[in-house]
Amino acid sequence: MQEILKKSAMEQFKALKNKEVSALELTKASLERINDVDEKLGAFNSVTDTIALETAKKVDEKITAGEELPLLAGVPLALKDNMNLVGSKTTASSKILENFVSPYNATVTEKLLNNLIPIVGKANLDEFAMGSSNENSAFKKVHNPWNLNKVPGGSSGGSAASVAACESALALGSDTGGSIRLPASFCGIVGMKPTYGKVSRYGLIAFASSLDQIGPFSRTVEDSAALLEVISGHDPHDSTSLKLPVENYRKSLNDDIKGKKVGVVKELVAEGLAPDVDKAIQQAIETYKSLGAEVMEVSLPNIKHSIGIYYILATAECSSNLARFDGVKYGHRTKDANNLLDMYCKTRAEGFGPEVKRRIMLGTYALSSGYYDAYYKKAQQMRRIVTEDFLKAFSQVDVLIAPTCPNTAFDLGSKTEDPLAMYLTDIATIGANLAGIPAMSIPAGFDSSGMPIGLQIMAPQLAEAKMFNFAYKFEQSHDFYKHIANI
């Protein structure tokens, strides 16, 4: 039964429809796999077996009754532990929410349950989604399934590792500055961030509200396209949600890209790339040429400022968003306080980890009187300029390509003492969040030590279908997606 876990989500869905396997058998196999490998992987904060098995039973009842199954029904999925699921702990991998039980479902969770997708567990992450390596979790580190001594990428490292290790066929993550695409790259799977507003953020624990976006992890492009269909759509609970119909992203996957234009981002393939990553990007360029696409160099002159812009805007928003965790209504409260102010201070000192504290302090400083114009306002102006660079680039080409990360997965602990080196890991991914455009990482090969390399594809706002098309054509030209981590 474990062999079916190596199949893609759509293959598992077809096997269910053809009665080759029952949803209960498939979900139990997924839960057994988690039980077998997660002690050394650390991908899950909690396992929601009761919820998953109840959902699987409903799928089997539909199959028995001869009813049509909703898309991806019965296919096991891991939910990042910053999205609410009634009856489960939602911790954001922080001590301050260690015992918080969700009183309501996130909109994406509601959509998953409506489609009868079994949620097998809550996936580990960097605390409050702040980090690039998944070493900032208050509970345990996540390990990379390809090499347990390496990081899986962050902040959605648990979600990515669970898919790469075949614990689940699908997962949801959140992407604020690359937190889906970076782990997808490091773990050798597909991860995509939709256009800002395409997927509701209601029920997602906020980090930086103007940047956060929920998106899918999977082993194939088709699976990601299918899962995006399930979770996207307008939501009146989210004021930034776009009033647009849900598209069928799978129908145009195999469209011809002959004569279409691919832009290679000059600034992201310059110096600083690991040799194996550079080689993989050059091979990707040749692949697109062989598919008939016209490949040209494109400049995003202000992308080099994206890290600075991001770490002002994201920390400012996190400073505001995390003010609610004060020990009053929910979450951790210190047992040792003399008065209200003392309770606030001690609760937050005990509850937040060092990276979260660092970002709250940076953000509070950037928003403080006398510094607001110099930092926050200037960063917003620069964000607009970066967005205009993308608009100009997309007036010349259909999609942009670049490495997802300048390097492959690094050793656990190797960058924890150097926050700046850690922040620079996101140099290629942050621009898409600032501009609100869709972007994804797909497997593009392996380095000399066998670690996966990711190719990033970016498209104009709301052009997910086009992006999936270019990703699918590349994927089908190679067998990288067929390789599975041996854990």
| Segment 24-53, tens digit of pLDDT | 999 999 999 999 999 999 999 999 999 999
Alpha carbons 401 and 287: distance in angstroms, whole number: 12
pLDDT beyond 90 at 162: yes
* Model pLDDT, residue 421: 82
Q: What is the CA radius of gyration of the chain?
A: 21
Averaged pLDDT, 284-311: 97
Q: Which residues are catalytic?
A: 80, 155, 179
Averaged pLDDT, 310-327: 96
Q: Is 98 helix (H, G, I), strand (E, B) or coil?
A: coil
Alpha carbons 460 and 463: distance in angstroms, whole number: 5
Residue holding tokens 């690039």?
A: 132
The C-alpha angle 202, 454, 242, rounded to 5 degrees, equals 25
pLDDT beyond 90 at 369: no
pLDDT, tens only, 115-125: 999 999 999 99
- Rounded percentage of the chain residues whose pLDDT exceeds 90: 95
* Model pLDDT, residue 272: 84
Averaged pLDDT, 62-89: 97
Confidence label for 261 from pLDDT (cuts 50, 70 and 90):
very high
Alpha carbons 56 and 48: distance in angstroms, whole number: 12
Q: Write the single-letter amino acid at 276.
A: D
DSSP letters spanning 47-62: E-HHHHHHHHHHHHHH
pLDDT beyond 90 at 159: yes
Confidence label for 157 from pLDDT (cuts 50, 70 and 90):
very high
Confidence label for 217 from pLDDT (cuts 50, 70 and 90):
very high
* Model pLDDT, residue 178: 97
Burial of 65 (0-12, 13-18, 19+ CB in 10 A): exposed
| Pure H helices in 18-171 | 23-41, 49-64, 107-114, 157-164
pLDDT beyond 90 at 17: yes
Tokens encoding 306: 């994206």
Summary mean pLDDT of the chain:
96
Q: How many CA atoms within 13 Å lie on the side-chain side of 172?
A: 36
* Model pLDDT, residue 116: 98
Please say whether the beta carbons of 171 and 51 come within 8 A: no
* Model pLDDT, residue 314: 97
pLDDT beyond 80 at 271: no
Residue holding tokens 């002959």?
A: 258
In sequence order, what are the residues at sequence separation of 6 or more whose Cβ sits closer than 8 angstroms to the Cβ of residue 35?
none
**Diameter of the chain by CA atoms?**
71
* Model pLDDT, residue 411: 95
Residue closest to 382 by CA, chosen among 431, 439, 420, 419 = 431
* Model pLDDT, residue 367: 93
Task: Name the CATH superfamily for 2-257+440-482.
Answer: Amidase signature (AS) domain (3.90.1300.10)
Averaged pLDDT, 430-436: 98
Alpha carbons 32 and 391: distance in angstroms, whole number: 47
- Rounded percentage of the chain residues whose pLDDT exceeds 70: 100
In sequence order, what are the residues at sequence separation of 6 or more whose Cβ sits closer than 8 angstroms to the Cβ of residue 486?
none
Please say whether the beta carbons of 259 and 292 come within 8 A: yes
pLDDT, tens only, 165-187: 999 999 999 999 999 999 999 99
pLDDT beyond 80 at 347: yes
294-298 and 170-175 strand pairing: unpaired
Please say whether the beta carbons of 323 and 347 come within 8 A: no
Alpha carbons 389 and 403: distance in angstroms, whole number: 18
Neighbours of 301 (CB within 10 A): 12
Confidence label for 221 from pLDDT (cuts 50, 70 and 90):
very high
pLDDT beyond 80 at 439: yes
The C-alpha angle 33, 36, 40, rounded to 5 degrees, equals 115
Tokens encoding 121: 């567990």
Tokens encoding 399: 């999609």
* Model pLDDT, residue 416: 84
Count, residues in the chain: 487
190-193 and 439-446 strand pairing: antiparallel
The C-alpha angle 387, 392, 397, rounded to 5 degrees, equals 115
Please say whether the beta carbons of 182 and 405 come within 8 A: yes
Burial of 13 (0-12, 13-18, 19+ CB in 10 A): buried
The C-alpha angle 385, 388, 394, rounded to 5 degrees, equals 150
Supply the DSSP symbol for 96.
G
Alpha carbons 312 and 364: distance in angstroms, whole number: 10
* Model pLDDT, residue 57: 98
Peptide bond preceding 155 in cis form (omega within 30 of 0): yes
Alpha carbons 228 and 182: distance in angstroms, whole number: 18
CA distances, 320 to each of 116, 272, 317, 365, 372 (Å): 36, 35, 5, 12, 14
pLDDT beyond 80 at 299: yes
pLDDT, tens only, 399-428: 999 999 999 999 999 988 888 888 888 999
